[in-house]
């Protein structure tokens, strides 16, 4: 079967503990080229499991994950590595997701090294370019260690790592959850800018509907492993149909009311 979507999940199921816990239950969703699709839902809904499945860190028990028209399960090792260059995962926690023993230059170069993407001189250029793209001046940041960076700066390094291979798809699992409001707004703005420049698609995972509302073209709402609602962001947010969505909308409103403007 061919598909125009960049990424397609077809009835994907994943369970843990010998099948005792179904974390992802018959989930189908699509992400188009340069589209931003938000996966939202309460804690434990299965969002991160979806991210890990798409990134190839987990394999589905049933169903198919189709990227650029190819079922990932049918790929051999070399082809799988080639696909890994084209989709990249950014994690939630900027304090554990960057290896502490590498300087910024090596952290950003690492994906290029792993994929043997280019020679040393080109690599140096691409690393500097990626850092500049996330607004970290190479002269100031190349030799820093992760512990010398703020949370927002760490997430920008993680984004530079994701973008240095110019992937078609970036899977971002709660990338702003640990950031303060200002660093959060900056990271989202940067992600939007880079998308406009590089035509990257985002699968953007969050439990925060205000963030999703601001950032996503379309939303997929998960609850207890299943997709319970999906649609254009505006209609999902303004006219939630499922109680799980309504609860997220309420939580976002309460939070907004609690924060002074």
| Interacting residues toward ligand ATP by CB under 6 A | 16-17, 21, 23, 41, 43-49, 207
**Residue 200, interface with Mg ion (CB under 5 A)?**
no
Partner whose binding site includes residue 2, from Mg ion, ligand ATP, none (CB under 5 to 8 Å by kind): none
Whichever of 45 and 54 has its CB closer to ligand ATP, that residue is: 45
Map residues 23-62 to x or -, x wherever contact with Mg ion holds by CB under 5 A.
-------------------------x--------------
Whichever of 44 and 138 has its CB closer to ligand ATP, that residue is: 44
Q: What is the 3-state secondary structure (H, E, C) of the chain?
A: CCCCCCEEEEEEEEEECCCCEEEEEEEEEEECCCCEEEEECCCCCCHHHHHHHHCCCCCCCEEEEEECCEEHHHCCHHHHHHHHCCEEEECCCCCCCCCCCCCHHHHHHHHHHHCCCCCHHHHHHHHHHHHHHCCCCHHHHCCCCHHHCCHHHHHHHHHHHHHCCCCCEEEEECCCCCCCHHHHHHHHHHHHHHHHHHCCEEEEEECCHHHHHHHCCEEEEEECCEEEEEEEHHHHHHCCCCHHHHHHHHHHHHHHHHCCC
Q: How far is the CB of 240 from ligand ATP (least distance, A)?
A: 18
**Residue 176, interface with Mg ion (CB under 5 A)?**
no
Whichever of 91 and 141 has its CB closer to Mg ion, that residue is: 91
Q: How far is the CB of 30 from ligand ATP (least distance, A)?
A: 19
Whichever of 126 and 205 has its CB closer to ligand ATP, that residue is: 205
Is residue 151 within 8 Å of residue 124, measured between CB atoms? no
**Residue 223, interface with Mg ion (CB under 5 A)?**
no
Partner whose binding site includes residue 97, from ligand ATP, Mg ion, none (CB under 5 to 8 Å by kind): none
Q: How far is the CB of 129 from Mg ion (least distance, A)?
A: 31
Partner whose binding site includes residue 132, from ligand ATP, Mg ion, none (CB under 5 to 8 Å by kind): none
Whichever of 17 and 147 has its CB closer to ligand ATP, that residue is: 17
Whichever of 95 and 145 has its CB closer to Mg ion, that residue is: 95
């Amino acid at each position: 079967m061919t598909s125009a979507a960049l990424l397609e999940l077809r009835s994907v199921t994943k369970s843990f503990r010998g099948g005792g816990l179904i974390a992802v239950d018959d989930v189908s969703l699509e992400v188009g080229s340069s589209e931003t699709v938000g996966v939202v839902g309460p804690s434990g809904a299965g969002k991160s499991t979806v991210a890990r499945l798409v990134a190839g860190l987990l394999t589905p028990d049933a169903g198919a994950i189709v990227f650029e028209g190819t079922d990932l399960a049918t790929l051999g090792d070399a082809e799988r590595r080639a696909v890994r260059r084209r989709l990249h995962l950014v994690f939630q926690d900027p304090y554990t997701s960057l290896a502490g023993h590498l300087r910024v230059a090596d952290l950003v170069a690492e994906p290029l090294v792993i994929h043997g993407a280019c020679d040393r001189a080109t690599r140096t250029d691409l690393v500097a370019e990626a850092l500049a793209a996330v607004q970290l001046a190479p002269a100031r940041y190349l030799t820093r260690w992760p512990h010398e960076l703020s949370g927002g700066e760490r997430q920008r390094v993680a984004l530079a790592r994701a973008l240095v291979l110019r992937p078609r798809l970036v899977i971002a699992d709660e990338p702003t959850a640990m950031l303060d409001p200002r660093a959060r707004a900056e990271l989202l703005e940067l992600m939007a800018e880079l998308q406009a420049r590089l035509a990257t698609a985002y699968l953007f995972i969050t439990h925060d509907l205000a963030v999703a509302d601001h950032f996503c073209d379309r939303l997929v709402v998960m609850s207890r492993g299943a997709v319970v609602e999906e649609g254009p962001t505006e209609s999902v947010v303004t006219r939630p149909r499922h109680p799980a969505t309504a609860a997220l909308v309420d939580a976002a409103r309460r939070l907004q009311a609690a924060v002074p403007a």
